[in-house]
Amino acid sequence: MAACPYEVRYVHPIKKIVEKCNWCMHRVLKGLPPACVEACPSGARMFGDLHDPESEIAKLMATQPVQVLKQEMGTKPHVFYIDLDVDAIEIKREVDVL
Amino acid sequence: MTELLYDVHHQVTFRWLIALYFYFTGMSAGSFVISTLAYGFGMTKFKPAGKVGVVMATVLLFIAPVMLLLQVGWPVRSIWNHFTYLNFHSPMTYGAFLLMAYPINCVIYGYFMFKGDMKRTKIFGLIGIPLAITVHGYTGFILAFGKARAFWNTALMPFLFLISAIVSGIALMILILMIKDRFFTKEKKVNKEIVYTLASMLGWMIVFDLFLVFCDISTLSISHAEAKEVAHLIFFGEMSPLFLGVENLFGKIIPMIIVLTPKFRNLKTIAIASALVVVGILFMRFVVVYGGQVLPLI
């Protein structure tokens, strides 16, 4: 938990084990989108198979410039952001801390 | 604000239990190494420290994993998962094996020592040295490999841990030797020679430790933005009373002056200095473990 550069691991309140987001594996296996994707009224999130060039997400990735968080950590994250201003966030963080 | 941006809540997961775990394995490794000076390397003036050392090393190394299992919260599950999901990329995997092998070796080493079989004592003493160094050294690697945390991610971390282990091991050993000689022997008299030898060794180990801390902190305060934030945290922020006051002033500098200055050095002041070191290193563990997680990563 302490090593995760994104601090996204947490102790599951009921199972009392350490977990992180698994894209709602239980839903995906049944052909449903992850809960956060389905719940978002403005469609800000998208989930899909990047190996399939015909999928909506693969097409979007092919046409839009994307960024990831903390690329320098070499974790090869697969959460991509469109129109994310990483520099602005980094500077903001520094101001908040000091 | 930044927490709201990502909807990730900052959390500190390693606290006192992990700090105590590092503290106990450190003192265990330190006292083991001292015990082998006489029984492994034949330095006879350290002989009175040999038996005390092996008992300390064994007892401390039985307490240490208890802290770890309390932190994990699932003792059976954690042992089971260790073997089912064996991960050779993780220093924790090596640590778990070492935590099993090292106390067994301590018990065998101690058994032959108390039996008076010097040849076998020497063999198991020499086997135990790399085990003692790695059983504590790996905890330094665990933190050093936490690459997202500027305070931990330094190649100095295993060294810092080993030297502070020896420092705290010697200090605790001085205290235990004094108590043992004073209250549990016929003569009720403290063995001055061994205490003075250990005290001057303690002093020079603290000098080395302070040098390592200086290297670490000076690099942090010049390095990249996150490292500078850490330096700011330990010099002026939340951790500064513990880091500057408890760990370094009371835990290292004052005891170092006491044990290295002939004018201040007597049995009473050595006992006080050792007690200060034992407390100081406990807070050193806490400052490193907790302080490494104070700054939010995202």
pLDDT per position as a tens digit, B187-205? 888 888 999 999 999 999 9
Residue B214: pLDDT over 90: yes
Residue B162, pLDDT above cutoff 80: yes
B297 vs A contacts (CB less than 8 Å): 4-7
Q: Nearest residue on chain B to A93, judged by CA atoms?
A: B2
Whether A1 and B1 lie within 8 Å, measured CB to CB:
no
* Residue B222 predicted with pLDDT over 90: yes
Which pLDDT band, with edges at 50, 70 and 90, does B283 fall under? very high
Return d(Cα B167, Cα B160) in angstroms, integer. 11
- Please determine, for residue B6, whether its predicted confidence score (pLDDT) is greater than 70: no
Task: Report the b/e string of A59-87 with b at 16+ CB within 10 A.
Answer: eebeeeeeeebeeeeeeeeeebeeeeeee
How much is the pLDDT for B4? Answer: 44
- Rounded to 5 degrees, what angle do the CA atoms B151, B154, B160 make? 90
Residue of A nearest to B298 (CA): A6
Would you state the pLDDT for residue B198?
94
Q: What is the ipTM of this complex?
A: 0.79
Count the neighbouring beta carbons within 10 Å of the beta carbon of residue B115. 10
Question: Nearest CA of chain B to the CA of A88: how many Å?
Answer: 11
What's chain B's average pLDDT?
A: 91
Strands A18-19 and A66-67 turn out to be unpaired
Mean pLDDT, range B214-223, rounded to an integer? 94
Instruction: Please say if the pLDDT value at position B2 is more than 60.
Output: no
What is the C-alpha to C-alpha distance for residues B173 and B168, in angstroms, rounded to an integer?
8
A62 touches chain B (CB under 8 A): no
**Which pair of tokens denotes residue B240?**
């500064």
pLDDT of B281 strictly over 90: yes
The owner of tokens 């719940």 is: A39
Size of interface A-B (CB pairs under 8 A): 56
Chain B CB within 8 Å of residue A98 CB? yes
Find out whether B169 and B33 touch, Cβ atoms under 8 Å: yes
Name the minimum distance, in Å, from the CA of B190 to any CA of chain A: 45
- A15 to chain B nearest CA, in Å? 11
Q: Tell me the chain B residues in contact with residue A70 when contact means C-beta distances shorter than 8 Å.
A: 148, 298
Q: pLDDT-derived band of residue A95, with 50, 70 and 90 as boundaries?
A: low
Q: What is the pLDDT of residue B116?
A: 87
Q: Which residues of B have a CB under 8 Å from any CB of A?
A: 1-2, 5, 8-11, 13-14, 73-74, 77, 145-149, 225, 229, 232, 292-293, 295-298
Contacts of A71 in chain B (CB under 8 A): none
**Residue pair B278/B173 in contact by the 8 Å Cβ criterion:** no
**Is some CB atom of chain B closer than 8 A to the CB atom of A70?**
yes
Q: Is the pLDDT of residue B9 over 80?
A: no
- B285: closest CA of chain A, how far (Å): 15
Select the residue of A2, A16, A93 nearest B73 (Cβ to Cβ).
A16
DSSP tag of A33: P
- pLDDT band with cut points at 50, 70 and 90 for residue A17: confident
Give the C-alpha separation, B141 to B227, whole Å. Answer: 18
For B22-57, write each residue's pLDDT tens digit: 999 999 999 999 999 988 888 888 888 888 999 999
* pLDDT over 80 (residue A96): no
Nearest beta carbon to residue A93 from set B2, B11, B146: B2
A10–B11 C-beta distance less than 8 A: yes
Instruction: Give the containing element (helix H, strand E) for B33.
Output: helix B16-39
The pTM score is 0.90
DSSP 3-state of A66? strand
Q: How far is CA B182 from CA B59, B185, B276, in A?
A: 21, 7, 20
What span, in angstroms and rounded, lies between the C-alpha atoms of B105 and A48? 53
Residues 6+ apart with CB under 8 A from B53: B31, B32, B34, B35, B36, B173
Neighbour-count burial of B137, counting CB atoms closer than 10 A to its CB (0-12 exposed, 13-18 middle, 19+ buried)? buried
Q: How far is CA A52 from CA A46, A48, A59, A76, B10, in A?
A: 15, 9, 9, 19, 36
A96 CB near a chain B CB, below 8 Å? yes
- The reply to whether residue B1 touches residue A92, judged by beta carbons under 8 angstroms, is yes
For residue A71, what are the CA distances in angstroms to A54, A76, A80, A85, A87?
27, 7, 11, 13, 12
Contact A73 B147 (CB under 8 A): yes
Nearest CA in chain A to B2: A93
Determine, for residues A97 and B73 on separate chains, whether the beta-carbon distance falls below 8 Å: no
Q: Contacts of residue B73 in chain A, CB cutoff 8 Å?
A: 16
